Structure 1
Amino acid sequence: MKATVCRRGEFEVVDLPMPEPGRRQVLLKVLRAGICGSDLHARIHCDEVAALTGEVGYDHFMRSDERVVMGHEFVGEVVSYGPGCRRRWKAGTRVVSLPIRRDGDEVQMTGLSARAAGAFAEYVLVEEDVTMPVPDRLDTDLAALTEPLSVGRHAVARSGIGRGDVAVVVGCGPIGLAVILMLKAQGVKTVVASDLSPARRALAGSCGADVVVDPARSELADRIPERAMHFRRGPELLDFALDAMHKLRTVPGLPWWRLMGLGERLGQVPKGPVVFECVGLPGMLDRLGAEMPYRSRIVVVGVCMEPDTVRPALLSNKEIDLRFVFAYDPDEFRDTLHLMADGRIDARPLLTGTVGLDGVDAAFAALGDPETHAKILIDPASEAVTP
């Protein structure tokens, strides 16, 4: 089969042996594969990432001197089964799969390890137990977005946001856009999106953002609805507390020293927005901690690969919540697939180009310009070399 191999940051189309499905594995013909932001980073900085993943217990992340078939976002059709499979779907059925599979007694990351070739190829292996059929009503190109959109689904679920809360999405690349889509699917009424790129701001609006901010022209905090921007400074909170105590202590039958806590439990004390940091650059967390008001929640979705600095005393004084998220759960992966199939989210604005295996290098280069592309798909049957 033909596959695009990465080694030392360079791509080459080569002929590889046809994969043989092992126990409980399924061989798929790749229909579409997406290029992820983590692919862009791994191409150049895989050795640094491998060192980090080794610290959390995964020792087989791709290295620069290895030949790796990347691609962990994909949709394919069933070709054949290995031993021990239930053979749930007939040949030709379109499916998506979580990008993990067994290699002996270990689990590998498909497309990010030399031990588990990914979907920048004509064929790819998946585990039957984490594979699911694509509903007939869902377009193949959209089905290929199941994996990256699941990251947004997980971030929103872990954020604990309510429909009446104000959401702020900082960074409108593919993951930020996925977060916007999932916030609106969950019924969040007010979503504020911020990005320096005009093209990405336009995409944010297409994905449902209610307020779109150019941070180069206006302060983000000034564009967030006032109901979520109380107590930007400490004296404002103290003034509110004293005024509330003065009014509430006159309520008969209630101990005045407990009234503030009661008001908070009843939702009478304003709270800050839920902020989704989707940039992943040093300095963003401290900046948001300084800009956002008392008791904001910052959900860290962007993956910063460099050391960063925050001022804990600042975050403590404002009681800022920091919540880090990563990837998704299998049920969120399935939910995302069916949210698209049921028409509850429309991810088509993210699709901005398609190339064949010979166009992978050009696609990676094009994705470096936020004004040109959001998500480029690879179609192994296509001969296109420019997206």
Structure 2
Amino acid sequence: MKAAVCQHGDFTVQDVPRPEPGPGQLLLRVVRAGICGSDLHARQHADQLAELAGELGYDTIMRPEQQVVLGHEFLGELVAYGPKTRRRWKKGARIVALPMVRHHSGVHMVGFDVHSPGAFAEYVVVQEAFAFEVPKGVPDDVAAFTEPLAVAWHAVRRGDVGRRPAIVIGCGPIGLAVILMLKASGVKTIVASDLSPTRRELARQCGATVVVDPREQSPWTAYKQPGPVGSITEYANFGLNAIGTMRMVPLLPWGRLVRFGDTIGASPVGPVIFECVGVPGILDGILAGAPLLSRIVGVGVCMEPDTIRTVLGLNKEAEIRFVFGYDPQEFAHVLGLLASGRVDPTPLHTGTVGLSELGQAFADLGNPELHAKILVDPAQP
């Protein structure tokens, strides 16, 4: 089969053996594959990625000198079953799957090591237990977004926004996906901040209610804050006024009233901020500028060591939650959202290339004015 093989950061289209499905596995003919930011990192920082993965217990992540087929976001047609499979779908069924397979040597991440070639190829092997049939009527270019939107849905779920405003810092593909999922979950105020005019326009199309250029307007003041959380002095004045008023009433159980306000969500609270840039300094900048009592969700992948001034977080009682991946239920839920039409990822899709154009596509993705998300069609010349 044809595959785009990555070695030392360069892509070459080669004839390689077609993978064979093992126990509990399926063989898919790749229809579409998405280029993810993680693929960009893997191509440029393979050694660094492997070292970090080793600390987390993954000991088979690619090295620059190895020949690896990337691609972990994909849609495929079912070609063959391996042994010990339930064979629940007919051949030709359109399948999306979590990019993780199990071999004798352990569990492997599809598209990130030599033991589990990815979908920048004509065929890919997936685990049947992690595979889902695409409902009829869902276009190929939409179904191919299931995996990256599952990442965004997991981030939104972990963010637990509720009735709070949401602020998205960085409107690259993952930031735009987060905006789509915030809109789908019913968040009323979605502030999007990005330096790129093209990405700001895409943020509007994806459902952002307020869009700002941070060079001209602060995302922290671009919306009406629902409480006295703009500064420590504002918050202190609110407390003095509120407690002072309650304590003027004899025998009023003011302490219990305060706790009751916390329980029902009536106490002041800051926004939920999604950091979708992944560049050193962004987190510290958020801590410096964000309102009090904010929740920060770390979504962007930063490959470099970073520094934050914890005293900022302490004084503002900021909360930081880092997120990674998704679970099978979240993956299936996103597929259902796509099938129902509640989520439309087409604004993100800015180009489709063949295997021979992959190197140029990776380069083009470095320019935010050119592309947001590029899909790969292995059948395209």
TM-score scaled by length of structure 2: 0.98
More divergent stretch after superposition (205-214 vs 268-277): 268-277
Letter in 1 for 2:181: M
Q: What's 1:357 paired with?
A: 355
Asked whether the equivalents of residues 152 and 181 of structure 2 are also in contact (C-alpha less than 8 Å), the reply is: yes
SS at match of 1:221: coil
Question: 1:75 Cα deviation (Å)?
Answer: 0.2
Match in the other structure for 2:173:
174
CA distance, structure 1, for counterparts of residue 34 and residue 4 of structure 2: 13
Stretches (4+) displaced over 6 A:
none
Q: Quote the Cα distance in structure 2 between the aligned partners of 1:233 and 1:20.
A: 60
Pairs within 5 Å for 1:214-363: 214-227=213-226, 230-251=228-249, 253-363=251-361
SS at match of 2:26: strand
In 2, Cα distance between the equivalents of 1:320 and 1:28? 45
**After superposition, where does 1:89-108 map in structure 2 within 5 Å?**
89-108=89-108
Note the alpha carbon deviations across 1:131-165, whole angstroms, 9 max, x for none.
01000110011111111110100000011110x21
1:119 corresponding residue in structure 2:
119
- Contact in 2 for aligned 1:249/1:259 (Cα 8 Å): no
SS of the counterpart of 1:77?
strand
In the alignment, the residues of structure 1 paired with residue 194 and residue 349 of structure 2 have an alpha-carbon distance, to the nearest angstrom, of: 19
How much does 1:252 deviate?
5.4
Give the letter for the 1:12 counterpart: T
Q: Alpha-carbon deviations, 1:160-209, whole Å to 9, x = none? A: 110x2100000011111111111111111110000000110000000000
CA RMSD of superposed structures (Å):
1.2
- 1:174 alignment partner AA: P
In the alignment, is the contact (CA less than 8 A) between 1:244 and 1:260 conserved in 2?
no
Cα pair 1:248 1:259 within 8 Å, conserved = no
Q: Distance in 2 between matches of 1:190 and 1:233?
A: 20
- For 1:257 and 1:128, how far apart are their aligned partners in 2? 55
* Counterparts of 1:266 and 1:327, CA distance in 2: 31
Specify the SS of the correspondent of 1:168. strand
Q: Sequence identity of aligned pairs in percent?
A: 57
C-alpha distance in structure 1 between counterparts of 2:183 and 2:249, whole Å: 40
**Residue type matched to 2:103 in 1?**
D
Q: Secondary structure of the residue that 1:138 maps to in structure 2?
A: coil
C-alpha separation between the residues in 1 aligned to 2:83 and 2:248? 75
Partner Cα distance (2:351, 2:261) in 1:
52
1:154 aligns with 2:160: no
Q: Do 2:167 and 2:219's aligned partners in 1 also have CA atoms closer than 8 Å?
A: no
| TM superposition shift of 1:239 | 1.2
Asked whether the equivalents of residues 195 and 214 of structure 1 are also in contact (C-alpha less than 8 Å), the reply is yes
State the 1:98 CA deviation.
0.4
Q: Confirm or deny that 1:21 pairs with 2:21.
A: yes
* Structure 2, gaps ≥5 residues long: none
1:30 maps to 30
Letter in 2 for 1:275: I
Q: Is the CA contact (8 Å cut-off) linking 1:180 and 1:191 kept in structure 2?
A: yes
Q: Give SS of 1:333's match.
A: helix
Specify whether residues 79 and 266 from structure 1 end up closer, same or farther in structure 2 by C-alpha distance, changes over 3 A only: closer
Instruction: Report matched runs for 1:9-88 at 5 Å.
Output: 9-88=9-88
How much does 1:305 deviate?
1.1
Which residue type is aligned with residue 54 of structure 2?
G
Structure 1 contact 28–77 (Cα < 8 Å) conserved:
yes
Secondary structure in 1 matching 2:79? strand
User: 1:5–1:12: 8 Å Cα contact kept in structure 2?
Assistant: yes
Query: Could you tell me how far 1:285 is from its partner in structure 2?
Result: 1.0
Matched residue, 1:196: 195
Once the two structures are superposed, what CA deviation does each residue of 1:289-348 show, in whole Å capped at 9, x if it has no partner? 111111110011111111111111221111101011001111000111110110001111
Gaps of 5+ in 1: none
Q: State how far apart, in whole Å, the 2-side matches of 1:123 and 1:18 are.
A: 7
Q: Say which SS state the counterpart of residue 80 (structure 1) adopts.
A: strand
| Structure 1 residue 216 displacement after superposition | 1.3
Deviation at 1:241, TM superposition (A): 0.8
Work out the CA distance in 2 between the residues paired with 1:280 and 1:197: 16
Paired residues of 2:192 and 2:219 also in contact (CA < 8 A): no
Q: TM-score, normalised by structure 1?
A: 0.96
Per the alignment, in what secondary structure is the counterpart of residue 220 of structure 2? helix
Question: Matched residues in 2 for 1:268 and 1:158: separation?
Answer: 21
- 1:250/1:76 Cα in 2 relative to 1: closer, same or farther (>3 Å)? same
The amino acid of 2:33's aligned partner reads A
Q: Aligned partners of 2:259, 2:139: CA distance in 1, in Å?
A: 51
The aligned length equals 381
Shift of 1:260: 3.0
Question: Aligned partners of 1:147, 1:266: CA distance in 2, in Å?
Answer: 35
